[in-house]
């Protein structure tokens, strides 16, 4: 599905992904872990650029429009499926079908609040689920998520991750929560200072392995400061 061969990425000449090779296969559910600044978002954005036609991206920045409702923010995921005229009319007076679809999506994401609620009235966790809803409503086979459930309580995060995994053929998700990575994903990639230092089936790893991975990564990070 995606082959990265000795990939290097930089910002203004500063290399943040270094000589990274990885093959991602269709159908895989991949957790991408690593200390803050390791290069996870940079790598995920690169994957998105390569897979754009088939992938949806749920970025950390969310990009919600505060002056619009929950309904309209989620509906944005469908903009490319409809004509400009349809989208404009729906902005003014929501159509029945998308309203029902978005309501069902909200229910699945435990956003049981009126679809007309402005997103600037929502909590951090609710906003994250609106961003996830918009990504889901794109109905792409590949979901790329950058810490999409970081603001949710652990039990809800588990349910939402399950929903995302169940709605997509292939998932790559940046996570800091080791338990979530081990429980829900079948492959774990670990980045350290822009290099891929861990690539293993989740079934072969333990919480202690991931603790050790993060411990080493933190030590390296502190040494660089
Ligand atoms: N737009 C940018 N311009 C310059 N440097 C950047 C930019 N975005 C990220 N970086 C730098 O690139 C490195 C990797 O950043 P990146 O956001 O990919 O890390 P990350 O692993 O996703 O971190 P976090 O877990 O904190 O989100 C960091 O040192 C960061 O400061």
Q: Are residues 215 and 159 in the same domain?
A: yes
SS3 content of the chain, % helix, strand, coil (to 5): 45, 25, 30
Residue 215: partners with Cβ closer than 8 Å, 6 or more residues away: none
* Predicted pLDDT at 216: 66
Tokens encoding 29: 């559910």
Q: Atom 26 (ligand 1): residue with closest C-alpha?
A: 36
Ligand 1 in contact with 11 (CB < 6 A)?
Answer: yes
Ligand 1 mean position, distance from CA 10 (Å): 10
Tokens encoding 14: 């500063």
Q: Atom 7 (ligand 1): residue with closest C-alpha?
A: 11
Q: Are residues 194 and 208 in the same domain?
A: yes
Domain boundary among 122, 139, 156: 139
Ligand 1 in contact with 36 (CB < 6 A)?
Answer: yes
Helical (H) or strand (E) element with 222: helix 207-224
Strands 2-11 and 142-146: unpaired
Q: Atom 3 (ligand 1): residue with closest C-alpha?
A: 11
Q: What is the pLDDT of residues 169-184, one digit of tens each?
A: 999 999 999 999 999 9
Which residue of 7, 38, 148, 198 sits with most ligand 1 atoms within 8 Å of its CB, as the best mutation to test the pocket?
38
Q: Are residues 47 and 79 in the same domain?
A: no
Domain boundary among 100, 120, 139: 139
Distance CA 216, CA 104 (A): 43
Residue 216: partners with Cβ closer than 8 Å, 6 or more residues away: 192
Q: Supply the angle between the helices 154-167 and 124-136 in degrees, to the nearest 10.
A: 10
Q: Are residues 47 and 81 in the same domain?
A: no
Q: Are residues 135 and 193 in the same domain?
A: no
Distance CA 95, CA 63 (A): 24
Q: Are residues 225 and 153 in the same domain?
A: yes
Q: What is the CATH number of the domain that holds 165?
A: 3.40.50.300
Other beta carbons within 10 Å of 195: 15
- Domain residues for the domain of 34 are 25-54+141-225
Q: Is residue 60 part of a domain?
A: no
Q: What is the pLDDT of residues 42-94, one digit of tens each?
A: 999 999 999 999 999 999 999 999 999 999 999 999 999 999 999 999 888 89
Q: Are residues 86 and 116 in the same domain?
A: yes
Q: Are residues 148 and 50 in the same domain?
A: yes
Q: Are residues 117 and 177 in the same domain?
A: no
Helical (H) or strand (E) element with 170: strand 170-174
Tokens encoding 24: 């991602």
pLDDT at 164 over 60: yes
Q: Is residue 93 part of a domain?
A: yes
**What's the complex ipTM?**
0.96
- Secondary structure (DSSP) of 87-147: HHHHHHS--HHHHHHHHHHHHHTT--S-TTSBGGGS-HHHHHHHHHHHHHTT--SEEEEES
Phi-psi region of 63 (alpha: psi -120 to 50; beta: other; left: phi over 0): left
Q: Is residue 11 part of a domain?
A: no
Domain boundary among 139, 169, 194: 139
Q: Are residues 150 and 112 in the same domain?
A: no
Q: Atom 16 (ligand 1): residue with closest C-alpha?
A: 39
Q: How many CA atoms lie within 13 A of 147 on its CB side?
A: 16
Ligand 1 in contact with 38 (CB < 6 A)?
Answer: yes
pLDDT at 224 over 70: no
> Domain tally for the chain?
2
- Per-residue pLDDT, averaged over 130-139, amounts to 97
Q: Atom 25 (ligand 1): residue with closest C-alpha?
A: 36
The model's pTM is: 0.91
């Amino acid at each position: 599905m995606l082959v990265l061969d000795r990939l290097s990425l930089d910002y203004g000449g500063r290399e943040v992904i270094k000589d990274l090779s990885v093959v991602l296969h269709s159908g895989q559910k991949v957790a991408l872990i690593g200390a803050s600044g390791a290069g996870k978002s940079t790598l995920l954005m690169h994957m998105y650029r390569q897979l754009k036609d088939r992938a949806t991206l749920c970025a950390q920045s969310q990009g919600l429009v505060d002056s619009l409702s929950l309904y309209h923010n989620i509906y944005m995921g469908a903009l490319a499926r409809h004509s400009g005229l349809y989208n404009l009319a729906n902005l003014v007076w929501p159509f029945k079908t998308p309203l029902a679809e978005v309501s069902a999506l909200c229910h699945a994401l435990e956003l049981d609040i009126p679809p007309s609620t402005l997103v600037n009235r929502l909590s951090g966790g609710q906003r994250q689920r609106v961003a996830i809803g918009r990504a889901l409503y794109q109905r792409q086979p590949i979901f790329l998520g950058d810490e999409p459930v970081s603001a949710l309580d652990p039990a809800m995060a588990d349910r939402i991750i399950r929903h995302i995994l169940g709605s997509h053929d292939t998932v790559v998700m940046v996570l800091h929560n080791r338990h979530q990575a081990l429980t829900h994903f079948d492959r774990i990639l670990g980045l350290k200072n822009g290099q891929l230092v861990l690539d293993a089936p989740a079934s072969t790893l333990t919480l202690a392995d991931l603790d050790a991975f993060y411990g080493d990564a933190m030590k390296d990070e502190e040494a660089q400061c």
